[in-house]
Amino acid sequence: MNSPPNAPKPVAAGTFSRRDMLGIATTAAAVAGVALTTTQAAGQGEPKAPAKPPIRESLKAAQAAVKAVEKTIIKISREVWDLPAVGLKEQEAMEVHIRELEAAGFKITARKAGGHPTAFIAEWSQGMGGPKLGFLPEYDALPGLGNAAEAKVKPAANGKTDGHGCGHNCLGAGCTGAAIALKAMMEAKKTPGTLRVYGCGAEENVGAKVFMAKAGLFDDLDAALAWHSAPVAATGTVITSANRKIRVSWKGKTAHAGNTPWDGRSALDAAELFAHGVNLMREHVEPTARMHYIYEVAGVAPNIVPDEARIWMTARDATTAKVNATVEWLGQLGEGAALGTQTKANFTLEIGMPEMMPNETLAVRTLEHMQNTPLEWTAEEQSFAKACQKAMGLKEVGMATQTLPLIREMKVGGSSDVADVSWKCPVALFGWPTLPLGVSLHSWAVTACGGMSIGDKGSLASAEILAAVGYDLLTEPDLRKAAKEELTKRLDGRKYQAVQNIDPKSWDETAKRFGKSPGEEIVTDIEWK
């Protein structure tokens, strides 16, 4: 992609080692985490921030608009933090967003959007023929990551074991807050346009964006805007991997494993044969491929030949085409394992996401606003962050205080359902600190920081940045055009194809499985279908 004039100097993807890349968990965290790991490994502490561009009027207006709804944004973040529930079970958190959006004058145009249990759409518009922008709040929590808003491992006061270890309380508050603030900015200037807030439920297990994309609900957008909690402030063209989530099950025959094993046919044997095959496959797939699996069902007792076995796995690769080839091979492997053990295989491709179509045009504009958004922490906040780092055995360097240079064309192993949206319209995406430097997402410290002023500051700053980029998009036809042209160029004629074959009858089981706590065995209460 060509760089726009005055584009900040990018960080070349080649600067990062493969090991750095492997350390990344989720989308925007990837943006942040990779760069951070590199600089820390080099022992340089925080990298130098690039020179600040002049502040735009849109950011000044966004700062004032966010200030006016500050209480609402913090209320959303804290309330959602206090109502942690895993994906598909997070109705209460979703209702917090719906309530505040309705109060701000948005109309709820869809519940269970795209057929997803915890997705919704809220909309507001004024004038005729204006651009359409989408905001992508998430609000699901993670199992086992409930924690008090204190700088140590301590159960939450609400007694809940689920917790916002991925910062989705802040993420959601920032996105919904930005939409509410931008509405006020548009009203003040009589700017025509439509703002749509897509409630992106269950990001961690059965991402609603895939469902809404499949239903074509992003098709008419000019752009979508999102951010993610991260240890650093960063944006750029980060390309997450395409993935496919698969369940393979085998049906065999029980028998007494001591007396008459010849009467049985072990489904577990088939699963083991399959898993061995996966591990042999690794030699013959490209280094960008990832395959990870767990045994979900593996028998009941050793003296019964297992008649049921099931593997749940994810395959990933740099592109949709490559991951599709892997899936085809895995299907053959499942059948082969059944043949070899005289069992029957059932191979289900449940859900998948494409690789991300990043947008440098929007990343460059987003970065400008990020560089003009202060990252200031009180002494108490820095000592809170350092105490978390100490408790986790990390370097006590506190919170990030500056925005990183643009990250360009970096491929990472993780995947995100933001990618589904990114094939439909240009997406502005960035990472912003709500957790201390060096801390991984999906950890207790993210929950802790998200429930106090560090998380609140992230929700507010992200809302300002998103509202400013949103206002630029509404008022600058050239920016919209450039972003769209870049997407067309990156897609290179490829069309979005949704991968979503989840049986709605399996919702409860999926939620239950995801919500199980360590040590809790789920095999025995699965109803075999």
Chain residues that interact with Zn ion, rule: CB under 5 A: 26, 166
**Nearest distance from C-beta of residue 410 to Zn ion, angstroms:** 18
**Nearest distance from C-beta of residue 442 to Zn ion, angstroms:** 8
Q: By C-beta, is 166 or 271 nearer to Zn ion?
A: 166
**Nearest distance from C-beta of residue 165 to Zn ion, angstroms:** 9
Q: By C-beta, is 83 or 482 nearer to Zn ion?
A: 83
Q: Letter for the amino acid at 427?
A: V
Residue 108: Cβ within 10 Å count: 17
- Cα 243 to Cα 146, 147, 319, 333, 464: the distances in Å are 28, 30, 9, 18, 32
Q: By C-beta, is 309 or 418 nearer to Zn ion?
A: 418
Q: Are 438 and 397 in contact (CB under 8 A)?
A: yes
Quote the CA–CA distance of 447 and 437 in Å, as a whole number. 15
Residue 104 CB partners (closer than 8 Å, separation 6+): 69, 72, 124, 180, 183
Q: By C-beta, is 166 or 315 nearer to Zn ion?
A: 166
**Nearest distance from C-beta of residue 519 to Zn ion, angstroms:** 25
Q: By C-beta, is 226 or 297 nearer to Zn ion?
A: 226
Report the relative pairing of strands 120-126 and 107-111 from DSSP bridges.
antiparallel
Quote the CA–CA distance of 78 and 66 in Å, as a whole number. 17
Q: By C-beta, is 86 or 309 nearer to Zn ion?
A: 86
- Cα 486 to Cα 59, 165, 320: the distances in Å are 24, 34, 19
The secondary structure of 179-228 as a DSSP string is HHHHHHHHHHHT--EEEEEEE---TTTS-HHHHHHHTTTTTT-SEEEEEE
Q: By C-beta, is 142 or 465 nearer to Zn ion?
A: 142
In terms of Cα–Cα distance, which of 410, 431, 516 is closest to 166? 431
Q: By C-beta, is 63 or 416 nearer to Zn ion?
A: 416
Q: By C-beta, is 227 or 347 nearer to Zn ion?
A: 227
When CB distances to Zn ion are compared, the closest residue is 166
**Nearest distance from C-beta of residue 140 to Zn ion, angstroms:** 8
Q: By C-beta, is 25 or 281 nearer to Zn ion?
A: 25
DSSP 256: B
**Nearest distance from C-beta of residue 163 to Zn ion, angstroms:** 13
Query: What would the two tokens of residue 294 be?
Result: 């767990």
**Nearest distance from C-beta of residue 228 to Zn ion, angstroms:** 6
Quote the CA–CA distance of 500 and 210 in Å, as a whole number. 7
Phi, psi for residue 125 in degrees, rounded to 5: -150, 160
Q: By C-beta, is 166 or 202 nearer to Zn ion?
A: 166
DSSP 3-state assignment of 428?
A: strand
| Residue for token pair 């942690």 | 84
Q: Letter for the amino acid at 285?
A: V
Q: By C-beta, is 166 or 270 nearer to Zn ion?
A: 166
Q: By C-beta, is 166 or 469 nearer to Zn ion?
A: 166
Strand order in the sheet with 234-239: 11-12, 407-411, 234-239, 427-433, 223-230, 132-135, 193-199, 120-126, 107-111
Quote the CA–CA distance of 254 and 263 in Å, as a whole number. 8
Residue 225 CB partners (closer than 8 Å, separation 6+): 133, 134, 135, 136, 175, 178, 427, 428, 429, 466, 469, 470
**Nearest distance from C-beta of residue 32 to Zn ion, angstroms:** 12
**Nearest distance from C-beta of residue 434 to Zn ion, angstroms:** 11
**Nearest distance from C-beta of residue 358 to Zn ion, angstroms:** 17
DSSP run (H or E) holding 313: strand 308-317
Query: Which residues make beta-bridge pairs with 233?
Result: 403
**Nearest distance from C-beta of residue 26 to Zn ion, angstroms:** 5
**Nearest distance from C-beta of residue 29 to Zn ion, angstroms:** 7
Query: What would the two tokens of residue 420 be?
Result: 């589904």
Alpha helices in 69-117, H assignment, sequence order: 70-81, 91-103
**Nearest distance from C-beta of residue 203 to Zn ion, angstroms:** 6
